[in-house]
Structure 1
Amino acid sequence: MPPITDLRVLIGSMEPVLNHGTYVFATVPAGKPLPEIDIVSSIREAEGLSVIVASDVAVRQGLDSAFPCAWITLQVHSDLAAVGLTAACAAALAAAGISCNVVAGMNHDHLFVPHAMAENAMTVLRDLQRTGTGPSAACSTA
């Protein structure tokens, strides 16, 4: 199936899935060899390689880390050129007081939200998928 670009279709079929575990953002300092670790995502920055890894991996490797988070995958096959899906998700989560860091993969979008707010975030995203309009009243008081 080809990637989807239509925003209504994307939102209506996003199917958020909460991955198990706690994840953190960490930095492998510039010039330091990359340890043999399972990296969820990475991007090169001037300060070094920023990675998203399981929190226990960061601890074992002695990496400076921040933002203990939950990882939510949107199962819809979104086109990298699609406009509005991550903005709609971020806006719905923001309206519920939930911060969100987004990573686009080749096939899916991934949201990293505060771990303690994972279930609230899932409720907001399911509500967005169901109604196309954002958070329910129950989640707007995060």
Structure 2
Amino acid sequence: MTGETDLKILISHMRPMLDPEPYVFCTFANRTFEDLAEYAPVALFAETEGTTAILPVERARELGLADAEWFRRITLTVHSSLEAVGLTAAVAGALAQEGISANVVAAFFHDHVFVPAERADEALQALRNIADLDK
């Protein structure tokens, strides 16, 4: 498995990066991954109740779904292993202390944290603070 597993290194080397694009979480009972691919999802997840898609707001608007709560994505630009322990907890804990919800998606190279759009700058600063404190 590639990627870093040491929590101290992960936190001290993470450089949270805020994506300028707003996103919405949507669910579809009767659409396939193939159906949703044309809407440029950043993530798709199959659940029992339906398919969850994280869509750019402009693409969600095409489906009449842009009125859902908007989120911004913060990418933790450190190559974390899928076997790393504690990074999600540390990030969620730092955001919880600020009263900011965190929806974490772990991809192969990086973790991505979706936070309410109106709190994105605060969330970014909170994550930068834990990275700085851990040095």
Instruction: Find the aligned partners of 1:84 and 1:30 in 2 and give their Cα distance.
Output: 36
Instruction: Find the aligned partners of 2:7 and 2:120 in 1 and give their Cα distance.
Output: 24
**What corresponds to 2:35 in structure 1?**
34
Shift of 1:23: 0.4
Q: Secondary structure at the match of 1:38?
A: coil
Q: Secondary structure at the match of 1:66?
A: coil
Taking structure 1 as reference, are residues 16 and 31 closer, same or farther at Cα in structure 2, changes over 3 Å only?
Answer: closer
Shift of 1:63: 4.2
**TM-score normalised according to structure 1 size:** 0.86
**2:43 is matched by which residue type in structure 1?**
S
**What corresponds to 2:22 in structure 1?**
22
Is 108-117 or 40-49 further displaced after alignment?
A: 40-49
- The answer on whether the counterparts of 1:26 and 1:64 sit within 8 Å (CA) in structure 2 is no
Shift of 1:55: 1.2
Instruction: Find the aligned partners of 2:82 and 2:7 in 1 and give their Cα distance.
Output: 12
Say what the alpha-carbon RMSD is for the aligned residues.
1.8
- The answer on whether the counterparts of 2:31 and 2:51 sit within 8 Å (CA) in structure 1 is no
Shift of 1:47: 2.1
Gap runs ≥5 in structure 1: 134-142
- The answer on whether the counterparts of 1:26 and 1:65 sit within 8 Å (CA) in structure 2 is no
**What corresponds to 1:136 in structure 2?**
none
Query: 1:1-142 residue pairs with structure 2 within 5 A?
Result: 2-30=2-30, 34-35=35-36, 36-63=38-65, 66-132=68-134
Gap runs ≥5 in structure 2: none
Q: How many pairs are equivalent? A: 132
The structure, 1 or 2, with the larger RCO (C-alpha pairs under 8 Å, 6+ apart) is 2
